[in-house]
Amino acid sequence: MSTSRELPPTSRELPVLFLNDQVVLPGMVVPVELDDQTRAVVDAARTHTDGRLTVAPRLKDRYPSYGVIAEIVQIGRLPGGKPAAVLRAQERVRIGHGVSGPGTALWVEAHDVPADEVGDTTAENVKELATEFRALVSSDLQRREAWQVIDMIDQVTDPGALADLAGYAPYLTDSQRRQLLETPSVVERLTTLVGWLREHIAESEVADKIAGDVREGMEKSQRDYLLRQQLAAIRKELGEDEPDGAADYRSRIDAADLPDKVRAAALREAGKLERASENNPETGYLRTWLDTVLELPFGTNTSDTTDIAAARAVLDADHYGLDEVKDRIVEYLAVRARRAERNLGVVGGRGSGAVLVLVGPPGVGKTSLGESVARALGRNFVRVALGGVRDEAEIRGHRRTYVGALPGRIVRALGEAGSMNPVMLLDEIDKVGSDYRGDPAAALLEVLDPAQNHTFRDHYLDLDLDLSDVLFLATANVVETIPQALLDRMELVTLDGYTADEKVQIAQNFLLPRQLERAALSPAEVTVTEAAIRRLAADHTREPGVRQLERLLAKALRKAAVKLAERSEPVIVDEPDLRTFVGRARFTPESAERTAVPGVATGLAVTGMGGEVLFVEASAGDGEPQLTLTGQLGEVMKESARIALTYVRAHAVQLGITDPTVLDRHIHVHVPAGAVPKDGPSAGVTMVTALVSMATGRPVRADVGMTGEVTLNGRVLPIGGVKQKLLAAQQAGLRTVFVPIRNEPDLDDVPAEIRDRLEVVPSIDVADLVAAALAPAEAAQRAA
C-alpha cells in the first residue's frame, strides 16, 4: 500500500466500516452481515492490512470522531443463511482524514488515543471506581442469575477494558454507547457508567416489586378461589347452607312479598349469582339488581282515608281557594271509598289510578298542593323534578349492559316513597326536552296512561311494575309545550291565579303567620293591616301568584325587627308606611296615559307568568305604502296585523274613517316591551281598534281592554286564558273588557268578585267592538 504522505508512528491507514444500527466498543465480538459495501471493506482488510479494519458508527449529523480497530476473526454465514463476518474490536482510535487506498473501500487515518487522554489506570480513584462498577454489575447480573457472565467479568482486571464491557449491557441505548466510545478517559467512563447503572438498578427494583405484587395478587386470588370452591363443596356434603351470598338472597326473596313474575325473575338472577365466581364482573351487576328489586316496596300500600270531610279540611287548611282541584281530589277519594265498601277492588287493577296536570303561572301553589293532597289521602308523597330532563333513560332507566346503569326516576321514586301507591308529583313537566338521547316525554306516555301503566317496564329492572294505583300529579306553567299525546293522557286542571281579595286572605292566613315565625316575631309585636296588604298586592306586585307578595312581607317584617331592636313598642305596618318598609310602588295604572292619544289600544295577553296588559300602537307616516311591524312579534301575530290592516281598508266607511287615503301611507304597528317576544292571534281585535283610532283621530277609551282573534270579514273568534286576562285587566284598573262571544262559557270560571268589578262585553263583530271602544267624536274634538 502506498501513501502520499508520511504518517506519525501512532497512526495507520485502514479501510473503515460504518455500522448503521450498532456501536462497537473495544473488547466486543460482533457479527456483521456482508452486503456489497461491507464485503468490499472486509476484502480490502484481508488483502492489504492482515485482516485489520476500522469500525465506527454511522452518524446522521456529523462525521464520527472515534472508532475501534477490529480484526476479522471468521467469515461464514448467519443462522438464516446470510453471509457474515465476525469482528473482534481491539482498541479505541481517533478517526482522521480520509485517504486513497486500493479497491472500492473507503480508507481513513486511524490515530491512537494519547495516554494523557486515557489517564493513569493504576491510580487509586480509578481502582475505587472500577471496584464500585464491578460490584454494581455483579448485583445486576445476580438479579438476572447470569452467573457465567459474573465469572467472566471477575477475570477482567484492566479498568478501561472493564468499562468497555458495558457495550454488551442491554439497558444501554446506542446514544449512550456512542458516548462511551467518544470518552477516552477511563475515569469519566467509569463515573458515567456508575450513574447509569444505579438508575437502571433502581428502576429494575421498582419493576420487580410491581411484578411481584401482581404475581402475589394473582396467586392469592387463585388460592382464594380454590379454597372457596372447596368450602362450598364441604358445606354441600355436610348439608349446610351458605350464610351469605346467593343463599342469603334466596332467603330474602322468600321473605319478601313479591309478585309471582317478579319472584321468578329474582330467583333466576339469584341462580346466576350462585353459578358465577367472585372474580366474574357480572357478580356485581347481579347483586346490584337484586338489591334494587328487594328494596322496592312490593306489597306495601297505604290505606286511603275514608273521611271526606277531614280530607277537605286538610286541603282547605293548606291552601286558600283552588276549589276545582280540591273538588277533583275529594271526588277521587269518594269514588275509591265506595269501591272499597262494595269490594270492587281498590288497590291495583287497570285504570284505578288518576293522572292530573295542574297548569298555571308560577306562585299559585301547584307544587305545594301535591303534599297537601298526599296528607289529605293519607298517602306517602314523593316529588320527581323533570325540569331540564333530556335523557329518555331518566324515565325508563338504563339497560344493564351499560356501566353504572340505574333504574329510572319513576322506579327510584317508588323506593323513596316506601309504598306502591304514593302521590307522585311530576314537577315542571312542560320543561322536559329532547335531544339525541331520546325524548323523555315519549317515555312518559306509558307512565301516565291509566290504561297501560299497570304493566310499566323499566329498562333496568326489565320487569312489569303496576303503577295504576299511583296518584300522579303533574305541574306545568303552559300547556302549549306539552306534547298533545301526553296531554291527552292527563286530566287538565287550570290554576289561573288569585284575585286581589284572595291574595289578601292568603297573606293574612298563610303568608304572614309563616313569615312572622321565620322572623321570630309575634302578632302582638308586629301588625300588618289589611289595607297595607291590599296595597302591596295591587301596586307593589303584578303577579298571578303570591311569591313576590310573600317576599315583600318578609322584607317588611325584617325592617320591623330592626325597629323593635331600637325601641321596644309594637310596630304597625299600615298603608302610608309601605314606602318606609318596602320602598316605592313599582306598578301604577297606565292605561289612561297610554291611550290618551289616537292610535293606541289596550289588549290582553297570556304568558307563562299569567295574564298581562298589552298595548298596541299604530301610526301613519310619509313614504311608500307598506306595513312595518316591530316589537319582536311572532309569525302568527304578524299575520294578525296584516289581516287587521286588510279588514280596516276594506271596511273604512263602515268603521267611520272619513279619509281612507290615510291607510295607503306608511303604516307602522308597534307592540311595546320590544325586548320580550310575543306571538298569538288574540291581539287581532286590538290591532283593528288601534288602526281605526289612528285613522279617525278618535282615542280609545282609557278604561277599555279587549282580546280576540279577528278574521278578514270581521268575525271575532274565541281565544284562551279568559280568566287570566280578566284578572290582569282588573289589576290594571280597566272597567270594560271585550271578549269573543264564543268565550262566554269560560266566564263561569271567573270569580264573582272579578265579574262584579268588570263589565265583560261579548262580541261577535269587530266593527261593533270598535264603535263601543272608541271615544265619542265630540270628546275627541274637545281633547284635540
Mean pLDDT over the full length of the chain: 84
pLDDT band at 4, cuts 50/70/90? Answer: very low
Interacting residues of 231 by C-beta distance below 8 A, sequence separation 6+? none
pLDDT band at 618, cuts 50/70/90? Answer: very high
Fold for the domain defined by 11-113: 2.30.130
Instruction: Spell out the SS3 assignment of 638-667.
Output: HHHHHHHHHHHHHCCCCCCCCCHHHHHCEE
Fold for the domain defined by 591-783: Ribosomal Protein S5; domain 2 (3.30.230)
Per the annotation, the verdict on 725 as an active-site residue is yes
Q: What are the boundaries of each domain within the chain?
A: 11-113, 124-204, 246-295, 308-397+420-494, 500-582, 591-783
Give the count of beta carbons closer than 10 Å to the beta carbon of residue 712. 11
Q: Which residues fall in the annotated binding site for ATP? A: 360-367
What span, in angstroms and rounded, lies between the C-alpha atoms of 315 and 327? Answer: 10
Average pLDDT over residues 505-523: 89
pTM of this prediction? 0.60
pLDDT at residue 44 above 70? yes
The answer to whether the CB of 463 falls within 8 A of the CB of 265 is yes
Per the annotation, the verdict on 272 as an active-site residue is no
- Element (H or E) spanning 704, and its range? strand 704-706
pLDDT at residue 282 above 80? no
640, 682, 693, 763: the catalytic one is: 682
Q: Which of 628, 591, 571 lies closest to 703, judged by CA?
A: 591
In single-letter form, the type of residue at position 80 comes to G
pLDDT at 779: 53
pLDDT at 351: 46
Burial 621-650 (b: 16+ CB within 10 A, else e): eeeeeeeebebebeeebeebbebbbebbbe
Average pLDDT over residues 669-687: 86
> How confident is the model over 395-445, as pLDDT tens digits?
888 888 787 788 888 889 888 888 888 889 998 888 887 777 778 888 888
pLDDT at 601: 92
Half-sphere exposure of 322 (CA within 13 A, CB side): 31
326, 503, 678, 725: the catalytic one is: 725
The CATH number of 308-397+420-494 is which of 3.40.47.10, 3.40.50.300, 3.40.640.10, 3.30.300.20? 3.40.50.300
Structurally, what CATH architecture does the domain formed by 500-582 represent? Orthogonal Bundle (1.10)
Largest CA distance in the chain: 136
> How confident is the model over 691-702, as pLDDT tens digits?
999 999 899 998
124-204, which class in CATH? Answer: mainly alpha
Distance of CA 1 to the CA centre of its chain: 84
The answer to whether the CB of 266 falls within 8 A of the CB of 296 is no
Angle, helices 260-275/246-255, rounded to nearest 10 degrees: 170
The answer to whether the CB of 410 falls within 8 A of the CB of 359 is no
